[in-house]
Amino acid sequence: MAEAERIIGTPDIPDAEGTGGPEDEVRGEPGGTDTGRAEIPGKGKRKIMVLFAVAAFAYLLDLISKMIVVAKLEHHQPIEIFGQWLRFDAIRNAGAAFGIGEAFTVIFTVIAATVIVVIARLARKLYSLPWAIALGLLLGGALGNLTDRIFRSPGLFEGAVVDFIAPAHFAVFNLADSAIVCGGILIVILSFRGLDPDGTVHKD
C-alpha cells in the first residue's frame, strides 16, 4: 500500500483550518482564501493596448491638424466657424495650455516629459478600461504639445505650440489641449467614483 501511494501520489487535502493546496496558490489564492480581484492573463495587456491606441489617435489628430493650420491658416485671416462665437485663428503659444505662463516654456516642457514617463510607468499596473482611455488622452495630448516644444521655433525645448481653436471670450487652444482636459476630467470622475487604475473599487 505504501508503495502504491508513493507511485500514484497523495492528493492535496485541505487541513482543519481550511488551508488549500498548491492549486489554490496557482490561482492567486494562497492558503485557499480570497485575496480580492483575480487577474486574468492578458487583461492588463489589452488595457495597455487601449491606452496606447487612444494616445496614438489623439497625437496623430493633433499633429495633422497643426500641419494643416500652419500650411493653410497661419499668416491668413481667421476663419469664422460660428460667426464671432467660434473661429479658427492660428497663433504660436510659448506658454502652457490656453496661453498660461509664456515665460516658463522650458519648465512646461519638462513637466510634459515627466507626465509621459509617469503614465508609461503606471501602464504596467493598468486593469481599468476607463483609466486606459483617460491616460491615453493625457499621453496623446502631452506628446502633441511636447512635439511642438522640441521641433518648432525658436529652438529646442523652447518651441511655441500651435493653437488655433478660438472660442469667443476664451483662450485659444488646440486638440492636444482638449485631449488633456478631457483626460483630466475623466480621471477626476473616476477618482470620485472610487475606481483605481488597477481595476479595484474602494469606498471611503
- Residues labelled as active-site residues: 163, 177
- What span, in angstroms and rounded, lies between the C-alpha atoms of 174 and 36? 42
Instruction: Show the beta-strand stretches assigned E in the chain.
Output: 79-80, 86-93, 161-167
2: phi then psi, degrees, rounded to nearest 5: -60, -40
CB 66 within 8 A of CB 74: no
- What span, in angstroms and rounded, lies between the C-alpha atoms of 163 and 66? 8
Q: Which of 170, 168, 187 is nearest to 98 (CA)?
A: 170
CB 166 within 8 A of CB 93: no
